[in-house]
Every structure is written in structure tokens, then in C-alpha cells.
Amino acid sequence: MDGLAIAWNYVTSPFRRKSKVMLNRNIGGRRSSIAGASFGLEGNVNGIVKRVSEMTEEIFEKYVTDSNLVDYAALMDSAELQQWRTFSPILNTIDLGALTQEQTLSLFVNAYNLATIDAICTKGGDGVSSVLTLSNFWGKYGYCVGQHDFTLDGMEHGVLRGNKPHPSSSRQQHFYAETDPRSRTSVSEFDNRIHFALVCGAKSCPPLRCVRHTHVDEDLESLAKEFIQTRIKITNADGGNAVKVEMSMILKWYMVDFGSSPYETLDAVKQFMNQEQLSILDGIDRGSVAISYTKYKWTLNNAEREMR
């Protein structure tokens, strides 16, 4: 069973389903209206999206290393995390219907990544060996946004993937039913580059970066290029008459968002490759390309554990 199937079992197993934990529902006894008033941004969509972007950038710049690992030991007791937790209830005051496509992408990508870090810190930070040890992680933790509960799964599949079902599920047409008001929060146009921006807390995840509210396209493009150029290994074989391609499991798990086959997926991500990668593939037909996938490292993306 591959990593995504294992993870999805945590979500779908009735024995693992527990009450959802919205990390910003009630922080220190303060409701969202009080938190919003203290920042002067309650209900201000532009202001909230901007401040979430700024706080995400501040946290990542200080606590994410150059090797894309998180210093959870330092982050857990940091002023930055406490400030975010104090601010986060204001998300519940947003009018979801007022969000633009760019605001939706920036807000929910950043909220997803912050919720992941927030939940990991809540469950022990650097004491967590892997998010797979946290039961129903993606189906349990999340944030209240616009008076609705959005788990990590809800943010990813219900909003950022255009309300598509989880790729491991064959029982749904949509993640959120059409009668569910959260279905109307979904992006108006799906952008598969979000797969290179969402980080679930594992070492094989994409680079952890802020998607700035004023540079959404630029940041998603940069993340896509960084991921594809560093996580796809392309080598010559058979004296240059064939090519071996080793891709991230993300491109296997979410193949449906890139094409109907590994070869269509490879074609779809060529636009993000560097010249060296493209030159090896140049002139090689599909029959001479052997595609495989790198084993996913689910170990926590913890800087302290890496140093030990």
C-alpha cells in the first residue's frame, strides 16, 4: 500500500473518525469577533488575506531552513506562532463570496500550510515522528473560515482542487456536495501548480514557501519550477537511445490533475523543467521513456531531527 492510500485510510476508516479540531475556533477563550476587533480587520477581506500572507512569510523566513526543514523546537514556543494563533480566529469573519481567484489561492494555500504546522506543534512538534502517526490528520485538523469548518482535506480538495474528490476515493463526484455551502468557495479555475505549494509535514513534500497575495502567479510558477527541476531525475540510458525518468509520488497520486497517464503527466510538467532536463528528453519518443517514482519520505520535516 502506498503512502497516499495509507493516509487516506486514516480519513475514511470509521474507527478513526473523530470530532474535527478547528485550531482557531476558540483561542484562549477569545472568539473571532474579539480577535478581529483587536486587529481592526474584522470582515476586511483584503486586509485579512494580506495579513495572512505577511504572517506566513514571517514564520517561514525565520523557522524554515534552507534545506526546507522546519525548526519545530524553536517554533513551538515562539512569539510568531502565538501571534498567528491569536490572529487566526479572524479568518471566521471573512465573506467567502467576496474572495477573488487570487485571494482564494493565496489564503487557502497559506492557511493549509500554517494549519499543518499549527497542528503538528499542537501534537508535540519535534516529538512527532511523522504525520502518519496522527490519526485522521488531514480529515481532523483545520481552521474555521467564513463561518465554515475547513479541514486540511477540505482546503486542498474542496477548495484548491476545484472541489474534486480525493484521488483515492471512487465514491464521490465532488469533495463537497453541491448542497454544501463550502462548495461555492472552490476556485473558479483549477491550477495544478498548487500541488507544488502544499506541504503536509513530510520530508518529501514541496518547498515550504509563502504564496504572497500580490504575487500569486509568480510564486506558484517559482514553486513549480523548483519542485520539478529538483525532484524529477532524468538520465540517459541505452547509449542515449532511451531515457529513465524518476518522478515524485505526488505526480502519481495526483495524476488525474495532470493527464491520464504517466507520459501525459511528464508532458504537462515539461514547461517547468530546466534546459538540461529538456535536452535529455529531446527527440526521445514515449516508447523509449521508462518512468518510475521515488519512494515518499513521510518522516517529519523537522530540522532538529535532521541535525541529530
One-character DSSP codes across 179-239: TSGGGGGS-SS--GGGGGT---SBTTSPP-----TT-HHHHHHHHHHHHHHHH-EEEEEGG
Side chain identity at 133, as an amino acid letter? T
Under the phi-then-psi rule, with left for phi > 0, alpha for psi from -120 to 50, and beta for the rest, what region is 72?
alpha
- From first to last of the 308 residues of the chain, give the pLDDT tens digit: 455 655 555 444 443 445 899 999 865 444 444 455 557 888 899 999 999 999 999 999 999 999 999 999 999 999 999 999 999 999 999 999 999 999 999 999 999 999 999 999 999 999 999 999 999 999 999 999 999 999 999 999 999 999 999 998 887 889 999 999 999 999 999 999 999 999 999 999 999 999 999 999 999 999 999 999 999 999 998 777 899 999 999 999 999 999 999 999 999 999 999 999 999 999 899 999 999 999 999 999 999 754 44
* Residue 14 vs residues 9, 17, 136, 166, 244: alpha-carbon distances, Å: 9, 5, 10, 17, 41
Confidence (pTM): 0.91
186 with 162: CB under 8 angstroms?
A: yes
